[in-house]
Amino acid sequence: MNLLLDEVARATLRLAEAGVASPRTDAEELAAFVHGVRRGELHTVADSDFDARYWECVARRAAREPLQHITGRAYFRYLELEVGPGVFVPRPETEMMVSWAIDVLRAMDVADPLVADLGTGSGAIAISIAQEVPRSRVHAVELDETALSWARRNIARSGLAERITAHHADMRTCLPEYNGRVDLVVTNPPYVPLDGADDIPPEVRDYDPAPALWAGADGLDMIRQLEAVGRRLLRPGGFIAIEHGDGQGIDIPPLFPESLGWRDVRNCKDLAHRDRFVVARRAVD
d(CA 160, CA 73): 19
Closest CA to 121 of 30, 6, 212: 212
Q: Is 120 annotated as a binding residue?
A: yes
Q: Is 190 annotated as a binding residue?
A: yes
Q: Name 52's Cβ contacts closer than 8 Å, sequence gap at least 6.
A: none
d(CA 67, CA 65): 6
| Residue 194, Ramachandran bin (φ over 0: left; ψ between -120 and 50: alpha; else beta) | alpha
Q: Is 158 annotated as a binding residue?
A: no
Closest CA to 206 of 28, 31, 65, 57: 65
Q: Is 191 annotated as a binding residue?
A: yes
d(CA 186, CA 16): 35
- What type of residue sits at position 9? A
- 137 Cα distance to chain centroid: 19
Q: Is 193 annotated as a binding residue?
A: no
Q: Is 207 annotated as a binding residue?
A: no
Q: Is 119 annotated as a binding residue?
A: yes
Residue 68 near residue 22 (C-beta atoms within 8 A): no
Q: Name 225's Cβ contacts closer than 8 Å, sequence gap at least 6.
A: 172
Phi, psi of 221 (to 5 degrees): -55, -50
Q: Is 142 annotated as a binding residue?
A: yes
Residue 272 near residue 228 (C-beta atoms within 8 A): no
Q: From the annotation, which residues make up the binding site?
A: 119-123, 142, 188-191
Q: Residues forming the annotated binding site for substrate?
A: 188-191
**Annotated binding-site positions for S-adenosyl-L-methionine:** 119-123, 142, 188
